[in-house]
């Protein structure tokens, strides 16, 4: 029997290569029993690859693993689950058209537990960890935060001794993050071990017992949080890069008093009859950066989809430079100079199987067509320019986007949308979600440059600190309405926005 004081998971010299790219280089670490262990690092550092090795999705080229004192080398995720290892992936594995309950039953190898057994499991998880889900809801009708919660509950139903959480807070609002941190603590107190991947050092300080920092696929440091200052972890993560400046930077000044983007009385009812948006009106001037803050699920996702042209409205109108574009398709809006960075880049922003060049061309295929054929030479050259300009870590223009880290996928989306000819408006929904510190700084600076060049920029984000650093003014989404118009440079801006988000502002 393994002593209760011994480590649960030991990795020794784990290595993994993809062609000439060394994804993991002799990674060694120990995860103690009944602890929360954070793995930190910039996008592309190898964090997700390491978790996939532990979970059996990816086979290591060299090295050894032990779990609970026994040699551990899972060939498949099913083998990992049998060994007591569960994983919540950064990108959802749920089937949108199915109910939550049916999704919870997937992966049971043909065994379907009775309804009351699932109910007992859900009740136990709710009582112990404070996580609840609506089993009858269809996944496609849930906001992103609720979908992530389903993923976590699905993992916990397997009663694992080790749970791997790959960027779980990237899609959660502040209240849900607090709840998740509490969940991690409850799991550890129950004797389970948690490996948590996150870029947010504030979460590390609240959730973790220990941390390991990866850079370039190798361990560069770490230790117990009681003995390792956060400043040391940040320095190890960045490797000399500068962290984001959270202070308010004076944004570009509007180049005109006339609105470029205008929303007038937008109303939308969801399929279940609930109100998504109610009399939403807003204007953004050329050269201005306006932020929309709010707890997720208050209509922001629907508003972003309306602006993209993905869904219609019940009533109201969207105007671009005075022209009504409410009924135009996404392609027609792109042709008029509207760029959209969607909140779920993996599902809506890229086609993973296509190359960087092909994904870059999606916004304007017509520009590369000549006599019915694609001019791939020009398309590939433009992609190489974007790779250089946006510091996209890739071997070349023909690299499949699905093989890139989340941050580099976001750079592809950003490069495509910000290079639309005649760009007039940029709608960026959760543009820094899941990105490391360096990538966040890069994205925010690009949005500043875009506004300075004369485009109207609307940023929808749950990261209030980033909105305060970026925007000239901020409104708050609350129960389908837009509340307030807060000067981001005001000394009371953060307090006012927080009160508006909670619905307690005077």
**Confidence category of residue 504, pLDDT binned at 50, 70, 90:** low
Give per-residue pLDDT as tens, 454-476: 999 999 998 888 899 899 999 99
| CA distances, 189 to each of 2, 69, 211, 321 (Å) | 19, 21, 18, 57
Asked if pLDDT for residue 506 goes beyond 60, the answer is no
Tell me what pLDDT residue 380 has.
Answer: 93
309 neighbors 332 (Cβ within 8 angstroms): yes
Give how many domains the chain has, as a whole number: 2
- Tokens 């510091």 belong to 391
- 461 lies in the same domain as 381: yes
Asked if pLDDT for residue 3 goes beyond 60, the answer is no
Domain assignment of residue 3, yes or no: no
Domain assignment of residue 466, yes or no: yes
- 26 lies in the same domain as 174: yes
- 179 lies in the same domain as 265: no
Domain assignment of residue 52, yes or no: yes
Give per-residue pLDDT as tens, 220-275: 999 999 998 887 887 787 665 444 454 556 667 777 788 999 999 999 998 878 88
- 234 lies in the same domain as 265: no
Domain assignment of residue 288, yes or no: yes
- 184 lies in the same domain as 295: no
Give per-residue pLDDT as tens, 188-227: 998 999 999 876 777 788 889 999 999 889 999 999 999 9
Asked if pLDDT for residue 406 goes beyond 70, the answer is yes
Ranked by mean pLDDT, the top range of 107-121, 191-205, 273-287 is: 273-287
**Confidence category of residue 129, pLDDT binned at 50, 70, 90:** confident
Domain assignment of residue 255, yes or no: no
- 45 lies in the same domain as 191: yes
- 386 lies in the same domain as 462: yes
- 145 lies in the same domain as 280: no
Tell me what pLDDT residue 240 has.
Answer: 53
Q: Which of 238, 271, 296 delimits the end of a domain?
A: 238
Calpha distance 184→190 (Å, rounded): 10
Helix (H, G, I), strand (E, B) or coil at 23: strand
Asked if pLDDT for residue 147 goes beyond 80, the answer is yes
Among 46-50, 150-154, 233-237, which is the least confidently predicted range?
A: 233-237
Tell me what pLDDT residue 243 has.
Answer: 47
The tokens describing 355, both together, are 């190359």
Domain assignment of residue 246, yes or no: no
- 290 lies in the same domain as 186: no
Tell me what pLDDT residue 73 has.
Answer: 93
- The CA dihedral of 421, 424, 429, 430, to the nearest 10 degrees, is 80
Tell me what pLDDT residue 242 has.
Answer: 47
Among 125-134, 186-195, 337-346, 378-387, which is the least confidently predicted range?
A: 125-134
Q: What is the mean pLDDT of the chain?
A: 87
- 300 lies in the same domain as 374: yes
Tell me what pLDDT residue 310 has.
Answer: 92
Question: What is the secondary structure of 461-500 as a DSSP string?
Answer: -S-HHHHHHH-SEEEEEETTEEEEEEETTSTTHHHHHHHH
Asked if pLDDT for residue 112 goes beyond 60, the answer is no
Tell me what pLDDT residue 501 has.
Answer: 76
CATH code for position 141:
3.40.50.300
Domain assignment of residue 102, yes or no: yes
Asked if pLDDT for residue 109 goes beyond 60, the answer is no
Mean pLDDT of 31-60: 90
- 166 lies in the same domain as 293: no
Residue 172 phi/psi, 5-degree rounding, is -105, 150
Quote the longest CA-to-CA distance of the chain. Answer: 74
Domain that holds residue 270: 261-502
Q: Which of 204, 238, 272 delimits the end of a domain?
A: 238
Rounded-to-5 percentages of helix, strand, coil across the chain: 35, 25, 40
- 392 lies in the same domain as 461: yes
Helix (H, G, I), strand (E, B) or coil at 310: coil
Give per-residue pLDDT as tens, 298-342: 899 999 999 999 999 999 999 999 999 999 999 999 999 999 999
| pTM of the predicted model as reported, rounded to 2 decimal places | 0.61
Domain assignment of residue 295, yes or no: yes
Buried b (16+ CB within 10 A) or exposed e, 87-124: bbbbbbebeeeebbbebbbeeeeeeeeeeeebeebbee
| CA distances, 224 to each of 39, 169, 187, 239 (Å) | 12, 22, 18, 20
């Amino acid at each position: 029997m393994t002593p209760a004081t011994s480590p649960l998971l030991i990795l020794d010299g784990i290595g993994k290569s993809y062609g000439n790219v060394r994804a993991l280089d002799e990674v060694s670490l120990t995860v103690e029993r009944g602890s929360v262990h954070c793995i930190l690092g910039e996008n592309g550092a190898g964090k997700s690859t390491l978790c996939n090795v532990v979970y059996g999705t990816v086979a290591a080229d060299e090295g050894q693993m032990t779990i609970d004192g026994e040699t551990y080398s899972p060939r498949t995720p099913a083998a990992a689950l049998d060994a007591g290892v569960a994983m919540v992936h950064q990108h959802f594995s749920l089937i949108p058209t199915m109910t939550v309950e049916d999704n919870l039953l997937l992966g049971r190898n043909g065994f379907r537990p009775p309804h009351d057994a699932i109910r007992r499991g859900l009740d136990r998880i709710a009582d112990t960890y404070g996580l609840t889900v609506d089993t009858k809801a269809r996944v496609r009708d849930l906001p992103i935060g609720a979908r992530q919660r389903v993923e976590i509950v699905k993992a916990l139903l397997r009663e694992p001794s080790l749970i791997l959480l790959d960027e779980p807070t990237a899609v959660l609002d502040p209240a849900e993050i607090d709840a998740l941190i509490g969940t991690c603590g409850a799991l550890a107190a129950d004797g389970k071990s948690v490996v948590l991947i996150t870029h947010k050092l504030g979460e590390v300080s609240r959730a973790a017992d220990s941390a390991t920092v990866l850079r370039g696929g190798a361990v560069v440091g770490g230790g117990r949080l009681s003995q390792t200052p956060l400043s040391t972890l940040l320095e190890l993560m960045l490797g000399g890069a500068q962290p984001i400046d959270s202070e308010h930077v004076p944004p570009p000044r509007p180049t005109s008093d006339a609105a470029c983007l205008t929303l007038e009385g937008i109303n939308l009812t969801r399929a279940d009859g609930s109100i998504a948006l109610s009399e939403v009106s807003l204007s953004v001037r050329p050269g201005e950066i306006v932020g929309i803050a709010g707890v997720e699920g208050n209509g922001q996702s629907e508003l972003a989809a309306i602006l993209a042209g993905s869904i219609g409205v019940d009533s109201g109108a969207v105007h671009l430079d005075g022209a009504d574009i409410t009924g135009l398709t996404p392609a027609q809006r792109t042709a008029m100079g509207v760029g959209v960075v969607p909140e779920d880049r993996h599902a809506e922003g890229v086609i993973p199987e296509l190359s960087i060049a092909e994904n870059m061309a999606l916004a304007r295929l017509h520009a590369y067509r000549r006599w019915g054929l694609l001019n791939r030479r020009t398309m590939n050259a433009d992609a190489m320019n974007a790779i250089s300009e946006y510091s996209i870590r890739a071997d070349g223009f023909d690299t499949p986007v699905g093989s890139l880290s989340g941050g580099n996928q976001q750079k592809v989306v950003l490069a495509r949308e910000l290079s639309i000819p005649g760009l007039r408006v940029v709608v960026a929904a959760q543009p820094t979600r899941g990105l490391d510190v360096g990538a966040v700084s890069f994205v925010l600076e690009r949005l500043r440059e875009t506004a300075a060049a004369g485009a109207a920029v609307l940023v929808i984000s749950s990261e209030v600190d980033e909105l305060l650093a970026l925007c000239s003014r901020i409104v708050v989404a609350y129960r389908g309405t837009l509340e307030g118009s807060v000067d981001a440079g005001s000394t009371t801006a953060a307090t006012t926005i927080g009160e508006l988000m909670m619905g307690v502002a005077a």
